[in-house]
Structure 1
């Protein structure tokens, strides 16, 4: 892992980890020492181990520490979840003689993040130099990191951003309890945004949207779930615009599944994504989603729940689109779970597939 912050990438890995047979497959987690949220108890209770390494920003020390760790613990497989940055731990793994090395692409890039995009562009040509196997959450992220030739060769293993679908089924009791705790009535329009606070997730634009939305619906509320580097700047913007009565910051929660029942719509104005876990979770709950046109359509399994809006559209258009979703909500009668299960997003099935793949590519003799 890179820096663990309780985001969707970490959730995807932990979702699979929970449903692996740990007598067959066990993980050691290598995470950066500047991580904000490492689920240490759950990992250790399941028999995993956790090792911390310096940030990749101190690159020589990072590679040296990774190589030392790989030499000491001798894993059968190194599975890197750092997108374009996987070149560094996988180089260390190759130098340490690890026979199976997986590069896993979870995301893409965005031209507006000039420094990050430039760094990724420089690293992408090396993405296939050190891994022995390639993995991705979807075709967009696969093509972005590994290229069209790798896709045509059929050499990419796809690992769905799967979830425990039943945990996200709409629940009226959870809805009532959470809204009551916030002092929000059943008739108030409650929008949610779940994800780490970062430029990519575009929370600043969400504030602009809310400023317009309350002109249409003065009782509307927005709840943020997550933490991250830009959170304090977003809080300052909210205060400057006098929007505190309409916006709540709930931090990192372990009951995010219940919040999908509490919300009336999910706001998802990301600048770029691979295949966002949050969008999958919201669909399992039958929650209407207003998303940017920079999110891959691969994530739109239940299309009746999705409204895509251009990031070039002004905040008023986004606000009106949110209001329009209130008339299309169908939370309790449709079988939203079946649609996602048929598409391969049930975690038990995906974890079994991952376990079988590990066994297939493992250097250990097959039993």
Structure 2
């Protein structure tokens, strides 16, 4: 008899979406009967393709009322719909991803006495340093309650995230387990095709052939801290020639960032390119990866950067500091210290031999810990 599993997630985009799509794409459907409950709005192209590819083996259910924001009426409607679906499906395992599904899904599964209830936070909401004190206290209490009464096992994506949970008494040693995000190697793909694609990108965006590329892949919203990124980029552009910055991704701050760059008359050197589908090619184009994130779980983008042999300069926050080995695979800087970030990035830009050393070290670190085969082996053991 197959193991019946329900995955619940309000969002299936960005890092959370990549994680869920990667897992669903690789499960053994001779042993697993999978059902996926999701929202209507926060979905991306990878998920829509997955729905087509797996339509014959996976059941998908849309719950439009499940939204990111706190909304008592819609949250109640969302809970009732998820409860009804779980009661009908009668799963052996419910696995909830991120905060909203983590609340709605775990409560419904607990009331229905589902045997195994798993939760992957993908960074706790309370890691957000911009939260108001009232929201922080409320979210801590909710996470503690659910961890104790409605969770069989929490799967943290990094040791730092797990320690954060322990420090805030969200679960205990036995109820928290690290299961790293992992990816397929970008470097090991067909390079002949990528060389042509890289040339086309440079031609399309008028990037000088001899420019060094500092790249970022992220949504433009508060967590990713684009204001700090742009200050660092301004410093580098004012001090160094032949460097181009590329930010891949859309979001609420996209037009604002474009305007700031235009006002500084640096629109030819700091490019915000919005949504792109051939992300792997951009990673291979980057000479250095830069992230200024306020907080993380375990960012896929840094693992992808390492898998493409790209050294990293990153804010010293949970998740980032578990992936970057200082002075070996890249540099960490203290969040908010623009001068430190600028100096470390400038040093890496100017030292080609150092970049080459870090490229190889980053790739070896990825190979040792973050291949997709390792992640799926762990999921097979968990689910079966």
Change (3 A) 1:202 1:168: farther
Of residues 89, 98, 101, the one that matches 1:73 is 89
**Equivalences for 1:231-250 in 2 at 5 Å?**
231-250=254-273
Deviation at 1:158, TM superposition (A): 2.3
Of residues 175, 178, 185, the one that matches 2:201 is 178
Please tell me whether residue 17 in structure 1 is matched to residue 24 in structure 2.
yes
Partner residue of 2:5?
none
Deviations 1:280-325 (A, max 9, x none): 11112221211001243222368622201112313x4423322211
Please tell me whether residue 113 in structure 1 is matched to residue 138 in structure 2.
no
Cα distance in 2 for partners of 1:157, 1:222 equals 37
Change (3 A) 1:98 1:151: closer
The farther-off stretch of 165-174 and 232-241 is 165-174
Please tell me whether residue 270 in structure 1 is matched to residue 289 in structure 2.
no
The farther-off stretch of 287-296 and 161-170 is 161-170
Change (3 A) 1:150 1:111: closer
TM-score, length-scaled by structure 2:
0.83
Deviation at 1:187, TM superposition (A): 1.6
Number of equivalences: 357
What stretches of structure 2 of length at least 5 have no aligned partner?
1-7
Deviations 1:55-92 (A, max 9, x none): 34322112112112212233321101114761322101
Of residues 263, 281, 286, the one that matches 2:304 is 281
> Any idea what SS the aligned residue of 2:181 has?
coil
What stretches of structure 1 of length at least 5 have no aligned partner?
360-367
Q: Give yes or no for contact 2:107–2:146 (8 Å, CA) kept in 1.
A: no
Partner residue of 1:162?
182
TM-score, length-scaled by structure 1:
0.86
Deviation at 1:6, TM superposition (A): 2.8
Please tell me whether residue 34 in structure 1 is matched to residue 41 in structure 2.
yes
Partner residue of 1:363?
none
Change (3 A) 1:210 1:22: same
**Equivalences for 1:92-241 in 2 at 5 Å?**
92-108=108-124, 109-114=127-132, 117-128=136-147, 129-145=149-165, 147=167, 153-166=173-186, 171=191, 173=195, 174-241=197-264
Cα distance in 1 for partners of 2:326, 2:52 equals 36
Cα distance in 2 for partners of 1:358, 1:329 equals 41
Cα distance in 2 for partners of 1:196, 1:288 equals 21
Alignment RMSD (CA, Å): 2.8
Partner residue of 1:294?
317
Of residues 328, 332, 338, the one that matches 1:308 is 332
Please tell me whether residue 356 in structure 1 is matched to residue 364 in structure 2.
no
Of residues 341, 345, 356, the one that matches 1:330 is 356
Q: Give yes or no for contact 1:6–1:196 (8 Å, CA) kept in 2.
A: no
